[in-house]
Amino acid sequence: MIDFTFTEEQELFRKAAREFAETKIAPHVPMMEETNGGWDEVVKELAEAEMFAVTIPEEYGGLGMGYMGRLIALEEIARVSVATAMMYQVFGLGIEPIMKFGTEEQKKKYLPKFVTGERLPTVAVTEPSGGSDPKGARTTYKKVNDSYVLNGRKCFITNSHIADVQIVLAKDEDNPEAFTAFILEIGMDGFKPTHIEHKVGMRGCNTGEIEMKNVEVPAENVLGGEGKGLKVSMSAIGDAGRGGMVGCALGLQQACLDESIKFSNERILYGKPIGKLQAIQFKIADMKIDLEAGRLLGYRAAAIQDQGGRSSNEFAAAKYYTTEAAQRAAKMAVDIHGGYGCMEEIPVTRFLRDSYVLGPSAGTSDIMKVIVARWAVS
Amino acid sequence: MLNIIVCVKAVPDPNDADKLKIDPVTKSLPRSDISLVINPLDSHALEAALEIKRNDDAHITILCMGPPPAGNIVKECLALGADKGILLSDPAFAGADAFATAYTLAKAIEKNGAVDLIFCGMASSDGATEWVGPEIATFLNMPVVTMVNEIVENAGDEWIVKADYEHGYRKVKIKLPAVLTVTRNLNQPKALSFSGILKARKKEIITWDLKDLGVPVENVGLKGSPTIVTEMTRLESRREVEILEGSLQEKVDRLIKILKNSGVVNV
Amino acid sequence: MSKIKTQVFVMAEQAGGRIRPVSLQIVGKARHLADQLDSKVGAILLGQNVTERAQELIAAGANSVYLGDSDSLHPYQAELYTEIIVNLLLEHRPEIFLLGSTFMGRELAPLIAAKLKTGLTAHCIDLLIDNEGILEQKIPAYGGMITIICPEKRPQMATVAEGVFLNPELDSTNIGDIIPIDLPEKFPLRVQTLEIVVEKPEGVSLETASVIVAGGAGAEDQDGWQQIAKLAEVLNAGFGSTRPAVDEGWTELETMIGQSGKMVSPELYIGVGLSGELQHMVGIVGAKVMIAINNDAKAPVFEQVDYGIVEDCRTFVPALVETLKKSND
């Protein structure tokens, strides 16, 4: 018998996360939308609420709540602010490879500081040439004596200007088949964030570019071994990255549903709330079905992970399904709002813009289908 | 060390109050799946205890009477920082009014042992009765102050508190052991934390039934309640409402006409 | 001691040397109930320098006033008052004992009920005698009205808020007994009222306002609340509130209208951003015109008013105030 219920403890996690999102994050949202900034404030809130500790094992000062705990937290944060959830999910993405591939020294050095938010990680793989084909990357490293020298540029990097620990994938200058992941730290000469992006949605979520000019990285900052870079980065993105996007998408779906129900109960047409009209009810039903299905896909993949398995394929299916569903939900929510759906002060217009940023993050829907197809025929 | 008991009640989520309505046909409350939450005032009672514990050596026991799902509420209190939970659960306890509830809680407090302070919310959100705290005090022969909004001095075993009073307050000296019922102005409850939830794993929740309390069945629940509900009626609409239509400004203009026609407003 | 058989007892509370209106109202109601039971009304009056006030209770309908006038009775001391009242009730064995839903009444009532092992109903909005002479106590709950009785234990106890019952006509020709109570000597107090401080003067009475604007949770925050306050100001109306608004800390408990707050009877009532929970709505008695502004078309308030406006009060109220101001200029 499969148990599809959340434990009492998981329900409490959700309650805590919801309270946090509604009381601590929601007040920042208007400012984030207005200025495309505010991430320092939001990061502080996340740290105070122990959000960065969620996935980190207890031996490093974390909470060891696993993928399930993270998915619950993400879903509740995204319900209030997808931009915040996105930043939070990518911090998790940065934590993951150090937990999985880091040496004991690296774990001891970084993980306890991630727990408190004193240090913040991200992963930098994508380049102007794309993110899903890392082999086309141009960022290179060259071994000089006992250290490595990196050169290149990474773009569309979430938390580029917040994270002071960045896991950068680079290619051996002399061997285009060899990739290595390096832990770069702000303060290393020649390494800095540059341009800040202005996305159509998820405003206030920091996305930007980083630049490496003759950055000298000591050997102890190699993550997962020389030549193992693709495995390190792809594994992190496949599990934590896709899984994180599922949380963002589910939260947004829930938000679309909540706002639609609220509006359709309030809006009077023909003398009664529009929620009594079947045309509206069908849209609500579609959103609800998508949400229920997406939750099953997402939480199952997370449960597999927590039981010690790998579920990057399951997460690919879930990522495809939930981010597509979030876009459908946002469109339906806007449609339900009629003319109000065109007004910037109405939250659903933000949902629509946010939903379109969910698609390409951590791999487009088409890439997800490629992965799922490979999984199906294997 | 101060031994503190906090009495909490699991109540239907006040946000879902509109789902809990008298059925006009059966004249009873429909069976409902409304989730239970901590009675909002009781979370101020818990916070009062936690505030003491932050500064002094204290042990906090949560005492809750309710059906088994109320155990989740006890768990939540442990996650918020209480040390131990007692759930009083027995079909015989069902249907208790304030008197029978206070009696049962008092018996459990006696069984639990030494106690210096008992905190209760000043009222419950579902029944709106305020009697449980002072009635517990009577059964345990302890002094009580109701509607405490500030703890002025809490050194030693004579405390000074302020309590709500008409257009002002009442300043009261009370000798411990004692019962205090609290208002929401006493404090601001802290949020649930992830680490608190995890710490609660190791904390104990005891369940006591009628036998454990060793009290006669006729003293508890519906049988032990002096008051009974004899009738429930749904209040039907008494007025024929007209919903104003049109744009916002049209509604404003129409409303001003209505105000003028009322004859009591000079506009 | 008196030989009069009294069956309906009332706790008469005084403050600043005046009988509280709620106490007179309850004495008036007790008179009705006692007439139906063919019995007498006894009022208990405790305090310092209150002897002169006893006659007022007789004028309101009490047959006897049990009077405790002593320095030790001021300020209110819960344990001493409980002791005195419990002894009186044990001596006279009344069928019914009523108290005002004042802070004192709400503390004393459960202390007395628990000592006497009897039932107690909070904040009744009506009291009736049924065919068997039992007191039916009505309280609003769950979108309807609940009747509670206390079939076996005596006295049948209830608290009632100010304004639930009408002020009785005072008849100074009424004759009654004023019976001094034997006060206990030296009473050890484990809980001692050190002082009672009145900070705010009694404001404009909601009870007498002909126009009342009441605000609820829909105000969302202090800004929204101030907008509703402005509407009340422009209309020269009393400004009342609901429980959630008080809970949010936007206003004082004294402005709360409803079962456990004030009972009001304006000509015109405007409910703003409130859902129409019965606990609030029972506080509005006999308004000629009732209007509600709420953004939820399904809110129960729209079943209880004459005119409904389905709008977010945070946008509607400022627009209304603006237009009202223009038309006033």
Instruction: Assess contact for C178 and C234: CB atoms under 8 A.
Output: no
Which one has a higher pLDDT value, A55 or B26? A55
- Determine the distance from the C-alpha atom of residue C255 to the mean position of all C-alpha atoms in its chain, rounded to a whole number: 13
pLDDT at C201: 56
- Residue A269 touches partner C, C-beta closer than 8 Å: no
In chain B the first and final C-alpha atoms are separated, in Å, by 65
On average, the pLDDT of chain B sits at: 91
pLDDT at A275: 92
Mean predicted confidence (pLDDT) in B79-104: 96
pTM: 0.86
Give the model's pLDDT for residue C169: 92
Residue C320: closest CA among B257, B252, B265? B252
More confidently predicted of A132 and B67: B67
Whether the CB-CB separation of A266 and A274 falls below 8 Å is answered with: no
The most confident of A82-91, B163-172, B225-234, C30-39, by mean pLDDT: A82-91
Structural domains in chain B, sorted by start: 2-219 (3.40.50.620)
Rounded to whole angstroms, the Cα distance separating B142 from C191 reads 9
Q: Do C191 and B172 touch (CB under 8 A)?
A: yes
- Whether residue A265 and residue C296 make contact (CB cut-off 8 A), yes or no, is yes
- A108 in contact with chain C, both atoms CB, cutoff 8 A: no
Kindly report the nearest CA distance between residue B71 and chain C, in angstroms.
Answer: 25
Q: How much is the pLDDT for C1?
A: 40
Give the number of other CB atoms < 10 A from CB of residue A188. Answer: 17
At C200, the pLDDT band (50, 70, 90 cuts) reads low
- In this prediction, residue C5 carries a pLDDT of 62
Any alpha helices (H) in A102-241, and if so which ranges?
A: 104-116, 229-236
* Higher per-residue confidence, C234 vs A1: C234
* The pLDDT of residue C6: 64
Q: How far is B189 from chain A (nearest CA, A)?
A: 12
- Is residue C161 very low, low, confident or very high in pLDDT (cuts 50, 70, 90)? confident
Three-state DSSP class for B205?
A: strand
pLDDT above 60: residue A48 = yes
User: C39 with C6: CB under 8 angstroms?
Assistant: yes
Choice between C202 and A13, residue whose per-residue pLDDT is larger: A13
- Per residue in C22-53, pLDDT (tens digit) is 999 999 999 999 999 999 999 999 999 999 99
CA distance A115 to A65: 13
pLDDT of A103 higher than 70: yes
**Cβ–Cβ < 8 Å for A79, A254:** yes
Q: Which pLDDT score is estimated for A10? A: 94
Take residue C175 and report the two structure tokens written for it: 């004759």
Q: What per-residue confidence (pLDDT) applies to B240? A: 82
Å between B23 CA and nearest CA of chain C: 9
pLDDT at A207 over 50: yes
User: How confident is the model over A325-370, as pLDDT tens digits?
Assistant: 999 999 999 999 998 889 888 899 999 999 999 999 989 999 999 9
In this predicted structure, the answer to whether residue A231 has a pLDDT above a threshold of 50 is yes
Q: Which residue has the tokens 């061997």?
A: A175
Which ranges constitute the DSSP H helices of A270-311?
A: 278-306
Instruction: Report CA dihedral (A256, A261, A265, A268) to the nearest 10 degrees.
Output: 50
- Residue A221's identity, in one-letter code, is N
pLDDT in tens, C306-323: 999 999 999 999 999 999
Tell me the ipTM for this assembly.
0.90
Helix (H) / strand (E) element for B198: namely helix B194-199
| CB within 8 Å: B194 and A8 | no
Cβ contacts below 8 Å, chain B against chain C, sum to 243
Q: Is C260 helix (H, G, I), strand (E, B) or coil?
A: coil
**pLDDT at residue C204 is higher than 60:** no
Q: What is the pLDDT of residues C50-77, one digit of tens each?
A: 999 999 999 999 999 999 999 999 999 9
The CATH code that applies to domain A8-120 is 1.10.540.10
Determine the pLDDT at residue C3. 44
pLDDT tens digit string along C233-266?
888 888 999 988 988 889 888 889 988 788 888 8
Determine what percent of chain B is predicted with pLDDT higher than 70.
Answer: 95
Cα dihedral across residues B193, B199, B201, B203: positive or negative = negative
Asked if C295's CB is within 8 angstroms of A273's CB, the reply is no
Q: Please identify which residue in the block is written with the tokens 């306050």.
A: C229
- Measuring CA to CA, how many Å separate C259 from each of B55, B237, C89, C122, C281? 39, 18, 27, 9, 8
Write down the pLDDT at residue B267.
65
The binding site of C for FAD comprises 242-243, 273-280, 294
Contact: B197, A11; criterion CB under 8 Å: no
> Nearest CA of chain B to the CA of C194: how many Å?
5
**All residues at 6 or more sequence positions from B95 whose CB lies less than 8 Å from its CB, including other chains:** B221, B222, B225
User: What six digits make up the tokens of B267?
Assistant: 């506009």
Alpha carbon distance B65, B212 (integer Å): 13
- At CB < 8 Å, which residues of chain B contact A? 72, 75-76, 79, 191-195, 197-198, 200-201, 243, 245
Among C149, C196, C201, the residue with its CB nearest the CB of B170 is C196
Position B4 scores a pLDDT of: 98
Q: Compute the distance between CA of residue C232 and CA of residue B125 in angstroms, rounded to an integer.
A: 29
The more confident residue out of C166 and C158 is C158
Domain extent listing, chain A: 8-120, 122-227, 231-377
Task: Inform me whether the pLDDT recorded for A238 exceeds 70.
Answer: yes
Q: How confident is the model at residue B238 (pLDDT cuts 50, 70, 90)?
A: low
Segment 92-131 of chain B within 8 Å of chain C by CB: 97-99, 102, 127-131
Tell me the two tokens of residue C326. Answer: 């223009």
Restricting to C residues 268-297, those with a Cβ less than 8 Å away from any Cβ of B are 268, 275, 277-279, 288-291, 297
A12 interfaces chain B, CB cutoff of 8 Å: yes
Superfamily of domain C6-180: HUPs (3.40.50.620)
- CA-nearest residue of chain C to A262? C296
Q: Mean pLDDT of all residues in chain C?
A: 90
According to CATH, the superfamily of the domain at C206-328 is TPP-binding domain (3.40.50.1220)
Long-range interactions of A268-276: CB distance < 8 A, separation 24+ = A268/B243, A268/B245, A268/C297, A268/C310, A271/B243, A272/C297, A273/C297, A273/C298, A274/A336
Residue C53 and residue C163: Cα distance in Å, rounded?
A: 21
* Alpha-carbon gap: B87 to the closest alpha carbon of chain C (Å): 23
Chain C window 108-167: which residues touch B at a Cβ cutoff of 8 Å? 109-111, 113-115, 117-123, 136, 139-153
pLDDT of residue A121: 97
Domain boundaries, chain C: 6-180, 206-328
C296: chain A residues, CB-CB within 8 Å: 265-266
Q: Do C302 and B243 touch (CB under 8 A)?
A: yes
- Using pLDDT thresholds of 50, 70 and 90, give the confidence band for residue A128: confident
CA distances from A192 to A36, A106, A118, A199 (A): 20, 22, 19, 21
CA distance C322 to chain B (A): 10
Look at residues B132, B16, B150, B159 and name the one whose alpha carbon lies nearest to residue B63.
B132
Q: Which homologous superfamily is A231-377 in?
A: Butyryl-CoA Dehydrogenase, subunit A, domain 3 (1.20.140.10)
The stretch B148-164 carries a mean pLDDT of 95
Question: Contact B193/A13, CB-based, under 8 Å?
Answer: no
Mean pLDDT (whole number) for B205-216: 97
Question: How far apart are the CA of B167 and the nearest CA of chain A, in angstroms?
Answer: 32
Tokens of A218: 């000591």
Q: How high is the pLDDT of residue C247?
A: 84
- Does B234 touch chain C if contact means CB atoms closer than 8 Å? yes
Q: Give pairs for B215-222: CB < 8 Å, separation 24+.
A: B215/B103, B215/B104, B215/B107, B217/B92, B219/B100, B219/B103, B220/B90, B220/B92, B220/B93, B220/B96, B220/B100, B220/B103, B220/B104, B221/B92, B221/B93, B221/B94, B221/B95, B221/B96, B221/B100, B222/B94, B222/B95, B222/B96, B222/B100
| Beta-carbon contacts of residue B137 (< 8 Å; ≥ 6 apart) | B118, B143, B144, B178, B179, C111
Across the interface, whether the CB atoms of A13 and B79 are under 8 A apart is answered: no
Q: What integer is the mean pLDDT of A239-259?
A: 97
- How far, in Å, CA of C12 to CA of B212, rounded? 43
- pLDDT-based confidence at residue C140 (cuts at 50, 70, 90): confident
- Please state the rounded mean pLDDT for residues B98-111: 97
Q: Which chain B residue lies closest to A14 (C-alpha atoms)?
A: B194
Q: What's the gap in Å between the CA of A265 and the closest CA on chain B?
A: 14
CATH topology of domain A122-227: Butyryl-CoA Dehydrogenase, subunit A; domain 2 (2.40.110)
Residue C237 amino acid letter: A
User: Which residues of A are less than 8 Å from C295 in CB distance?
Assistant: 266
Interface of A with B in 151-190 (CB under 8 A): none
- Could you tell me which chain B residue has the CA closest to the CA of A22? B191
Going by pLDDT thresholds of 50, 70 and 90, the confidence category of residue B68 is very high
Which of B76, B193, B200 is opposite residue A50, by nearest beta carbon?
Answer: B193
Residue-level pLDDT at B259: 87
Chain A neighbours (≥3 Cβ pairs under 8 A) are: B, C
Record: contact B195-A63, CB cut-off 8 A:
yes
Average pLDDT of the residues of chain A: 94
| Number of Cβ pairs < 8 A linking chain A and chain B | 46
Buried b (16+ CB within 10 A) or exposed e, B163-199: bbbbbebbbbbbbbbbbbbbbbebbebeebbbebbbe
Q: Which of C83, C129, C191 to mutate to test the interface with B (most CBs of B within 10 A)?
A: C191
Q: Do A23 and B191 touch (CB under 8 A)?
A: yes
What residues have CB less than 8 Å from C38, skipping those under 6 apart?
none
User: Length of chain A, please?
Assistant: 378
